[in-house]
Amino acid sequence: MLQIAAIREHKDAFAQALKKRNLDAMPLLENAISVDEKRRTLQGQLDETLAESNKLSKQIGDLFKSGKAAQANELKVQTGDLKEKSKQLNVELNVAIEELQNILYTIPNIPQDSVPTGNSDEDNEVISEHGSIPTLHAGAKPHWELVKDYDIIDFELGNKITGAGFPVYKRKGARLQRALINYFLDKNTGAGYEEMQVPHLVNEASGYGTGQLPDKEGQMYYVGVDDLYLIPTGEVPITNIYRGDLLENKDLPITMTGYTPCFRREAGSYGSDVRGLNRLHQFDKVEILRIEHPDQSDAALDSMVAHVKGILEELELPYRILRLCGGDLGFTSTLTYDFEIYSTAQEKWLEVSSVSNFKTFQSNRLKLRFRNSEGKTELAHTLNGSSLALPRILAGILENYQTESGIKIPEVLKPYCGFDIID
RNA sequence: AGAGAGGUGGCCGAGUGGUCGAAGGCGCACGCCUGGAAAGCGUGUAAACGGCAACGUUUCGAGGGUUCGAAUCCCUUCCUCUCUACCA
């Protein structure tokens, strides 16, 4: 959520920047400013009324204490009007506050200057490509066939137990997945990220804090009896660890990592994109998060990108880095880099990581602040990224490492797997 | 799930109707002391909103109520702790 004070100050620049999202934000921004104007006027009137009422109360108290009950009772009569008036103003003020809130909820974050213009994922800017695409043997297969051949992932079984999009990982498939989780966590903690294990269900306040609510409600599984949501990403519980906190300057940066399953309803998804492991209702992910001083967040984003690069290079998977265009940029982000690995058998790129700087958009909702060097409170910056999403990495390994005699295991994973081929 | 206790500032913790934004402590900042540090001593130190400022308003888990006036009394609700029951 943007800060109203910032909107007031940078209206034109914000409207300009939001054009990159193909959004004509000017009417929204102006509406927000005018509602805020109303809010401030009402606040002023209410303050005045209450000040008067407080003054009278004090006088009444003093009169009672000095035994002048008659005079005190006279004054009491005067307070009636003020009470009525302040009640009325209070109602109007709350309406204005809510109205403003609702407008602010609909305004996405301001894209950074470097965000390219564009309408869809086709307009994302390819920053770099790395590694070489392997030449597979004749008859190489996509992963959904490989997993059947070697009996390592069973989609039918998941279907039976739960429904589509909930695969069962078996035998060496299960072990490979666990190996990846451990490997990712080791890489992240080795780089200084503190490991966290967090709840997989969150309350409403957490959903609002990171921006899933109110608008992306339909993407989350909801447990009505207890009013809880299954997490769509570890970002939600991990970021909310610091919701409402006031940190000291010296506490920054805070760096965390965590492994969680992710649950997504993916309503409306269909077609070849959802084949096999490409898109699931439940999948595993290891996440990295940072809470940063505003001066440091740009550099922090770069370091997260470098970190994810390092992992993909060790796995020896061909990958590329994209800078998301305005049209594809997430609602809460100012700048996002996506990592895609090349699935040789499917002949397509698969997104395996998304690394974003949210600046103060989340912290404003979270009320996550720190005391700066001048002793003033200031919103911190939040960032996060996947390192990495499991299923597509798994798909990439299965497809790119397949040979006629089985699927080889990447060198770095062998110690984690305890075997070096799936056959 | 049943019974009891409690939720107060960055943290701990006092406070049962007006003099309470709130004692005391910790932490933090500055100063004194010191060769330097620690200790000690002194001073200061909540947040949000409005205002150029003086200042005003709000906030003692949340929401409602009583009252001229509520951290303090009443109701509702959420959460935490202890004991009991159950249990991975």
Whether the pLDDT of residue A329 is over 80: the answer is yes
The C-alpha atoms of residue A309 and residue A337 are separated, in whole angstroms, by 11
Q: For strand B, give the nucleotides within 7 A of a protein CB.
A: 10, 18, 47-51, 56-58, 68-69
Q: Which of residues 48-77 of A touch strand B (CB under 7 A)?
A: 48, 50-51, 53-58, 60-61, 64-65, 76
A162-210 confidence digits (pLDDT tens): 999 999 999 999 999 999 999 999 999 999 999 999 989 998 888 988 9
pLDDT at A71: 81
- Output the distance from A308 CA to B11 C1' rounded to whole Å: 37
- Output the distance from A377 CA to B46 C1' rounded to whole Å: 11
The C-alpha atoms of residue A385 and residue A290 are separated, in whole angstroms, by 9
* Half-sphere exposure (Cβ direction) of A164: Cα atoms closer than 13 Å: 10
Over residues A45-72, mean pLDDT: 86
Mean pLDDT over each residue of chain A, to the nearest integer? 91
User: Which alpha helices (DSSP H) does A278-338 contain, by range?
Assistant: 297-315
- Output the distance from A401 CA to B74 C1' rounded to whole Å: 71
* Cβ contact A377 with chain B strand, < 7 A: yes
Amino acid at A26: M
H or E element in which residue A130 lies: strand A125-130
Higher pLDDT among residues A375 and A182, named by residue:
A182
**Nucleotide lying nearest to A376, CA to C1' measure:** B47
A258-294 confidence digits (pLDDT tens): 999 999 998 766 665 678 898 999 999 999 999 999 9
β-sheet bridge partners, residue A343: A348
pLDDT at A357: 97
Whether the pLDDT of residue A8 is over 80: the answer is yes
A91-116 confidence digits (pLDDT tens): 888 889 889 988 998 999 999 999 99
Q: How many residues does chain A have?
A: 423
What percent of chain A has a predicted confidence (pLDDT) above 90?
68
pLDDT at A268: 64
The reported pTM is: 0.91
Token match 């409306």: residue? A268
